[in-house]
Amino acid sequence: MQPNFTRRDVLRGSVAFAATVMTRTPLAALGFPEPEAGSTPVPFVTPQIKSPNRPMVHWDTLTDWQTDNASVYVVSHYNKPDLAADDWRLNVAGFVERPATFTLADLKQRPRKELLATLECGGNGASPTFLGAAANVRWTGTPLAPLLKECGLKKRGLEVAFFGADQKQEKVREQEFEMRFSRSLALGDALRDDVLLCWEMNGQPLPREHGFPLRLVVPGWYGIAWVKWLTRIEVLDRRLMSKYMGREYVTIRGEDVGGQTLWRETSVSFMNVKSVVARVLKLKDGTLRVSGAAWSDGTPIQTVELKLDDGPWQPVKLDTTRQSKYSWTFWWFDWKGAPVGEHTLVSRATDADGRVQPAPDDPAIKLKKTYWEANQQWSRKIRI
C-alpha cells in the first residue's frame, strides 16, 4: 500500500517548494520521475481554471500519485447531511433472507480492506472549467459482497439499490416527492470483491462532504455510483430507475448504422479509458518533461501515446512500478530540442482490451450529445 504522502503543501506547492520537500521525499517515490534541481514549470497557454472554493485536482502542480482529501472534488445532488456516527445505522433489506442493521462499529469489526482507486465525476472534462474532478485516493472499508451473502440473497434478486441519507423534494410526473438519493448496481457488479463499504479516505475518517460516515466505493466506475451518506441497501427483483439512474447521468450517443444515426441513451457506469497531459517541466538541459496520468475502468492501461504538434503518436513511459488496478497510472515523456514557440500536446490512452481514447472529432465523441463520460483527448498548448 502507498505511504501516506498527502500533504497539501506538496500537492499545491511550486516546483521549487516541492524540490525542497523532495530532499525528504523523492519525487520518484510520489510517482513522477525526479526532476533535476533547477527545473522550471512551463505554463500552459490556457491554464486550468481554478476556483478557491471548489476542491479540484490541479494538474499543472500535481506531483503526488495520491490525492489529499482537501483536493478531492465534491459533487452532491441533494443536501449534505451532517450525520452522527453513533446514531447512524445501515439497513440491509429487500430480497434477502435475513434483513439486518449494522452500526459503524459492526462494520469496522468486519474484514478491513484498503485499495487505491481513482474517483472521477461523470462530467469531468465536459468543459474547460471542469477538468479537475478526478482524484486518486486510498479507500478503506469492508467488502460489500460477504455482507450481502451473510444476509442471504434470495434468488429473485436482480439489483442492489443503495440509498443515501441525502434527500430533496423532487417533482416527478407532476407530483412532489421527498426523494432520497439512490443508485443501483446489477447484482453481478455489486458482488465484485472490490466493491467496498468505506469509512476512510487516505487514512482519515470520511469527511462529511464525502459521505460521512459511510459511502459506497465502486472502483472503476464514475463517482455517481459511489453513493455517499449510505444508510440503506436493498436487494431488488426489478430495476431501480431513480432520477440519477433513469433521467440524469444518461449519455445520449449516436452511431451510424446502415446510413442512419441510431441514438442510444445509456447509464453512466464504468469509466472510459482516458489520459491527460498534466504538466510540463523544463529541465536544466532544456529538455521538456511532459507528464500526465491515465486511467480506465480497471482494465490495464496498455499504452499512452503523445502527439507533439503535427508529429506522429509517440509512446510515453508508464510508471509501471506504481500501477494499481483501479488507480491512475502516471506517465512521462522527455522532449528534447523543442523549438521556441507555441506547441500543442495531446495524449491518448489505450487499454488492454484495445479501447482507444477517442479524438474530439471521433464519431464516438461527435455524436455524444450529453456532457457525461467526456473522455476525448484533451489538447493543451504551451509556449516556450
Q: In the block, which residue shows the cell 491518448?
A: 348
**Judging by beta carbons within 10 Å of its beta carbon (0-12, 13-18, 19+), is residue 377 exposed, middle or buried?**
buried
Strands 90-94 and 230-236: parallel
Kindly tell me which residue out of 113, 370, 379, 384 binds a copy of itself, with binding defined by CB under 8 A: 370
C-alpha separations of 181 from 122, 170, 197, 281, 298 in Å: 16, 11, 17, 43, 26
Does residue 269 interact with a copy of itself by CB under 8 A? yes
CB atoms within 10 A of CB 131: 20
Does residue 262 interact with a copy of itself by CB under 8 A? yes
Q: Which is nearer to a copy of itself, 247 or 317 (CB)?
A: 247
Query: How far is the C-alpha of 295 from the C-alpha of 329, rounded, in Å?
Result: 6
C-alpha separations of 44 from 27, 170, 346 in Å: 22, 42, 13
Q: Which is nearer to a copy of itself, 33 or 254 (CB)?
A: 254
Does residue 37 interact with a copy of itself by CB under 8 A? no
Cα dihedral value 51, 52, 53, 58, nearest 10? 60
Does residue 182 interact with a copy of itself by CB under 8 A? yes
Kindly tell me which residue out of 82, 178, 310, 361 binds a copy of itself, with binding defined by CB under 8 A: 178
The pair phi, psi for residue 308, each rounded to 5°, is -105, 115
Q: Which is nearer to a copy of itself, 57 or 83 (CB)?
A: 83
Q: What angle do CA 51, 130, 44 make, to 5 degrees?
A: 75
Q: Which is nearer to a copy of itself, 261 or 320 (CB)?
A: 261
Q: Which stretch binds a copy of itself (CB under 8 A): 31-39, 56-64, 125-133, 254-262?
A: 254-262
Kindly tell me which residue out of 6, 118, 267, 275 binds a copy of itself, with binding defined by CB under 8 A: 267
Q: Give the x/- contact pattern for a copy of itself in 43-82, rule: CB under 8 A.
A: ----------------------------------------
C-alpha separations of 183 from 228, 268, 303, 335 in Å: 10, 11, 33, 45
Kindly tell me which residue out of 264, 317, 381, 383 binds a copy of itself, with binding defined by CB under 8 A: 264
In terms of residues, how long is the chain? 384
Q: Which is nearer to a copy of itself, 50 or 369 (CB)?
A: 369
Does residue 86 interact with a copy of itself by CB under 8 A? no
Query: How far is the C-alpha of 145 from the C-alpha of 196, rounded, in Å?
Result: 8
Considering only residues 324-363, where is the footprint of a copy of itself by CB under 8 A? 353
Q: Are 250 and 265 in contact (CB under 8 A)?
A: yes
DSSP 300: P
Kindly tell me which residue out of 19, 134, 179, 195 binds a copy of itself, with binding defined by CB under 8 A: 179
Does residue 369 interact with a copy of itself by CB under 8 A? yes
Does residue 163 interact with a copy of itself by CB under 8 A? yes
* 266 grid coordinates: 445509456
Query: How far is the C-alpha of 355 from the C-alpha of 2, rounded, in Å?
Result: 28
H/E segment holding residue 293: strand 288-295
Does residue 274 interact with a copy of itself by CB under 8 A? no
Considering only residues 128-157, where is the footprint of a copy of itself by CB under 8 A? 156
Q: Which stretch binds a copy of itself (CB under 8 A): 16-24, 134-142, 250-258, 278-286?
A: 250-258
Q: Which stretch binds a copy of itself (CB under 8 A): 197-205, 246-254, 312-320, 327-335?
A: 246-254
**C-alpha radius of gyration, the chain, whole number:** 22
Kindly tell me which residue out of 210, 215, 228, 243 binds a copy of itself, with binding defined by CB under 8 A: 243
Does residue 241 interact with a copy of itself by CB under 8 A? yes
Q: Which is nearer to a copy of itself, 87 or 310 (CB)?
A: 87
Query: How far is the C-alpha of 221 from the C-alpha of 207, rounded, in Å?
Result: 21
Q: In the block, which residue shows the cell 526532476?
A: 35
Query: At closest approach, how far in Å is the CB of 155 from a copy of itself?
Result: 10
The pair phi, psi for residue 144, each rounded to 5°, is -75, -40
Chain residues binding a copy of itself by CB under 8 A are 91, 93, 156, 158, 161, 163, 172-173, 175, 177-180, 182, 186, 188, 232, 236-243, 245-247, 250, 252, 254, 257, 261-267, 269-270, 353, 369-370
